[in-house]
Amino acid sequence: MTNRNVDRGSGVTRANASFEILRDPHRRSVCRYVSRTETPIVTRAELVDYVAERASDAVETDGETDPRVARRRVATQLRHVHLPKLDDFGIVEYDPDRETISVDREALATHLERARGAIADLQDPLSEQ
């Protein structure tokens, strides 16, 4: 797994990368899932199920929420947007052909610590002095 966007630049750039990862609720759900699972490899179908259950953008059809449409939308977004982005940041290694995701909990922990550190700096009243 590569940390193409993580290891370059200043601490601010690294913190921004961490916030970018956590900006989207689907990516946050993926991060939550991979941090809680004990297996080193998960399937895209597992992630789709987990994220779709938590998605707030369920699609209404004739006044009814259609979970199949919402699940297809989540599956498409994970495949084409979120998993490749998490792969670019080095948190997972996504194999779209096999539809498997190798988990790097250490990289995820690093990003979460950067985000926590940036928030702590904002909350520190002495940081501006």
Structural domains present in the chain: 11-121 (1.10.10)
Nearest in space to 17 (alpha carbons), one of 25, 26, 8, 30: 8
24-34 pLDDT, tens digit per residue, is: 999 999 999 99
Number of H helices, E strands in the chain: 6, 5
User: Could you read off the pLDDT of 2-31 as tens digits, one per residue?
Assistant: 444 444 444 557 788 888 888 999 999 999
User: Token pair for residue 24?
Assistant: 């989207």
Average pLDDT estimate for 83-100: 94
Predicted model pTM: 0.76
Q: What percent of the chain has pLDDT over 70?
A: 80
Structure tokens at 83: 């998993």
- pLDDT-wise least confident of 24-28, 74-78, 94-98, 120-124: 120-124
**pLDDT at residue 1 greater than cutoff 80:** no
Q: Name residue, tokens 């096999």.
A: 98
pLDDT at 60 over 50: no
